[in-house]
A and B are shown apart, each in its own frame.
Chain A
């Protein structure tokens, strides 16, 4: 009973476990840590000289966002955006996509890195002088002004003549078909109409860069599809460079000229929709893009043969085996180069640390604490009940703290150790030609055995058949996992039916279990 209680207690969020004073102390500590992290990042940043590439209209270079409480929201975000491009940032909530957009807009400070718009350094420029316009998720229409006044607001501030204001608003209203709404207030408009007005207010400024922060997420499904195509055609018409944030991968796929996939503050992949779809960089991208998402299976790779959990064997083609071997060759070389780079960086950071006695003292104290705790943990029998877990948790926390400090020494050392371990496993794989992998296959690459398709055939029992009208989502147990396949709805399929699946092995993906990177 007590054990269970403890487990429940440990799972509670920090804010529930601590009392008021402890919470305040923690907040204070976090703030101090955050300030230090920002200072360190800035110091590191000041050594780099950034320049804007010639063909990039908007250029984000090694952008970091660290909040005052030490939360590192965006890590090392770099992208060069050409003029007239439509870039979509996509990722699950909390991945830093909106934060990045707000940094481009100037609503959030950039902790480190550089932002260029049209070749000008924009980090410290006020939002209004960046030549951008933004559409907010909540539309941000002024409720006390009519649609006309709402759209005229930014123009009046620009001190344009009345005739010019009228012309611009009527042009925008014409494009968006909101002329009959001009004398209404936002309250009297539907969601879709408000969305149009918000777009209108952004385009009347004739800004060179248009930022959109999840503009369609407040609309219902049907309207969303309609507005999606309208925004794309608007973009084609205006030609403004657009950055669009969404959590919806369908929007990303249909609208973007290039997609940026993000996860917990890190960029996962940047590429055209087709690139991201066909050649996902890692497991996350493969699972996130595409609906229904890719089927993943744990598999055993042995000399070009994959063995799934349920004993099914898949023989890879010679080309695929070649790709596999090439990948590891490349990866090993890349890792070695990165280790060399990290070694110099760590030496550099250590030199920095030697020049900063305050930081050194702090780090030494943290190290000492860790050493003391690990020493007492060597003899767990001597500790009172429950103390062992507490100390382990404390060590974990201290190690996390240490990574944030010390000019990234520990961060990099961790990465280096990881890479070194990886090289060992790669050598092992090369020698034995045997490893555990994750196999991925998209639902659309699993065909109905009755159709005219080629592939490896498997017979399975349907555990669930979802009819969408034009197609079925067939759920079946295959490879030890629930597998989803997309079948056309020309023949009736019911739960419990036996069907033949044809796996299109040419479109198979394999991911490394350790790094989660896509091998091919």
Chain B
């Protein structure tokens, strides 16, 4: 099967064709936002990190922003820096430039303030957008796709229909030579033994158990019951009683194929197949993790009804909850019937979802894109803000 995408200099294929306006630090967000509003064909990436953190978090932010710049949906990148932040905007711009795409940089403190930065940044971004607009979509095999999978605002229906359907679509893509990325390590807790059995090698199985233990320890170190934070109050109202129950329903969204590798947050998986990235379950951080991993389409399953998309990636919302589908048509792209455990309905639903994935990859706007929802992602942190 195939889709229509944008070819990039390094051989990657985009499903969208934006100029990324990437803020390096929370203090530069406003300028990046204003530039985005002035430049047709641009997409912003704003976040709350980049300064006054310990080295591990500065490294995560640097790696993540660089990987985001590499994303094939971006034809070019404008890096927007304040100037005095902890991370190095130069390193990020140079790292992104290695992808072969045009990269420009504007530094607010150097250029003479926000107004001057917006004027210069807009000029640079408009020039790149004019070049990008000349590109036309071409046919590519679906093996060029990296599909990200996420569940959010889950209820019991997520584990019964939407997540198995996403899993069935993942299996189709991997069997066709493509790539799927999933994560949400918090939602492996209680189900890690099942994922470890699917690891391609004993080393990968060990790594799956390690990232779960590490994530659980971060929570238990705080000295409280995790419940209420994970599962959330909404998950509990939706019938999910424990993190184990949520996890067992969540992991099926990655399908059934062997797990080839586990990556750190912000890393870009190499090769094709099924991969895990170590991430929390919360949307703003996790969607960024999928974007950094290079996902050109994201399938986002929901029970209660989550609205978020991502600034430069089509995010397809699917639900198995009939009430949510009727109540939130503005946000839900696809409804999948509650299937019984015989599961014949799941394979068909997976094929239906796969066609939607190819359509979204070829340019069909998702519900989140139509209303432009999802401009407030974030970057995962593990240490203190100082």
* A and B interact: no
B residues apposed to A, CB below 8 Å: none
